[in-house]
Amino acid sequence: MPAGAVPVRESVGAALRFVRENLRFIATVALIYAVASTLIAGLALSVPQLGVLTMVANGLVQAFCYGALTAGALFGVDTVRSRWTKDGWRVWSSMVVVGFFMFIVMVVITIPVTIALVAGPLGAYATDLQAAGSDEAAVMQIMMRFFTENPVAVLITILFYFAVWLLLTSRLYLAAPASVEAGRVLTFDTWNWTKGAMVRITWARFMLLVPAYVLMFALTALLGRVFGFNVLDGASMQAAVAANPIGIVIFEFVTSFIVLGLYASLEAGLSAYLYRGLKPASAPPAA
C-alpha cells in the first residue's frame, strides 16, 4: 500500500487474507483466550465481590491475545512466541489510555445531549421524574416509557454517540500496532498519522467489522437460545446462571472463542495493514 493511502477495499482484503492464511494460529490464540476468559467468568460467578478484579483480569487477557494477533499481522506468526508478553502490556496500556480518553469525551458530550433532551422530548416527563424522586424503580419505569414513546429521539441519540465513538476510535486506530512495533506505548502520537484518513478508516472498519459483528451476535444469540436464555435480557441470563451453570460455562467458552477468533483477528489484521501505510517515515523503529 502506498504511504499515506487508505485503499478501503485493499485494506479489507488484507485483513481477510491475514485471517485466511493464519487460521491455525488464530484458532490457537482464540482457544487460549476462551479458556482464560471462562475461568475468569467462573471466578466472577463464584465470588461476586471480585467483580472489578475479574473485569480487569479479563481485559488483560484480551489485550495479551490481541497483542499476539497484532504482532502476527505485523511480523509474522512465527515471531509471536518470543515477544507476546511485552506486546500484551503495550497493547493493554494503549487500550487503557484510549479508553480513558473516550470516557472523558462521552462524559463531556453527555452534558449538551442531556440539555437538548430535557429541552425537547424528555421535558414532558420532568414532572413525573421529580415526583419519583429517589425511587429507582419508578424512575426506571418513566425512562422506559420515554424510550417507548420517543423512538426517533432515542435512535438519533444512540446514532450520535455511536458516530462520535466510531470516528474518534478511527482517529486512534493505529495505537495498538504502533505500540507493538515501537516497543513502547503510543496513543496520541498516532493522532496526526490518521489526519485526513479518518473517514476512510471508518468506512473500512464498517465494511469489514459490521458484518463480522452481526454474524458474531447472531451466533451468540443462537447459542443463548440453545441454553435457554435471551442474551438481550439480563434477568433471563441471571436465571440461567442459577438454573444451568454448566450451560453458562459452555456459552462463555464458545462465545469468547468466537469474539477473538472472528472479530478481533479481523480487527488486528486491518489495523496492522493500515498502520503500515499511514505511519510516517520518522515513526519509531521496530522493537
- Where along the chain do its domains lie? 8-278
Contacts of 109 (CB under 8 A, 6+ apart): 161, 164
The answer for 196, left when phi > 0, alpha when psi is -120 to 50, beta otherwise, is left
Q: Assess contact for 37 and 58: CB atoms under 8 A.
A: yes
Q: Assess contact for 263 and 217: CB atoms under 8 A.
A: no
Taking each helix axis from N to C end, the angle separating 175-182 and 84-119, rounded to the nearest 10 degrees, works out to 160
**Total-model pTM:** 0.86
Q: What are phi and psi of 186, to 5 degrees?
A: -125, 125
Q: How far apart are CA 38 and CA 248, in angstroms?
A: 9
DSSP H or E segment with residue 212: helix 198-226
- Grid cell 463531556 is found at 108
b/e code 149-171 from CB counts within 10 Å (16+ = b): ebeebeeebeeeeeeeebebbbb
Cβ-based neighbour number of residue 48 at 10 Å? 9
HSE on the CB side for 80, CA within 13 Å? 20
Contacts of 35 (CB under 8 A, 6+ apart): 253
Start-end of H helices in 120-233? 126-132, 136-149, 151-171, 175-182, 198-226
pLDDT in tens, the chain (287 residues): 555 567 888 999 999 999 999 999 999 999 999 999 999 988 887 787 877 888 899 999 999 999 999 999 999 999 999 998 999 999 999 999 999 999 999 999 999 998 988 888 888 888 877 887 777 888 888 888 888 888 898 899 999 999 999 999 999 999 999 999 998 999 999 999 998 889 999 999 999 988 998 998 898 889 888 888 777 776 777 777 777 778 888 888 999 999 999 899 999 999 999 999 898 876 655 55
> In the 8-state DSSP scheme, what is residue 187?
S
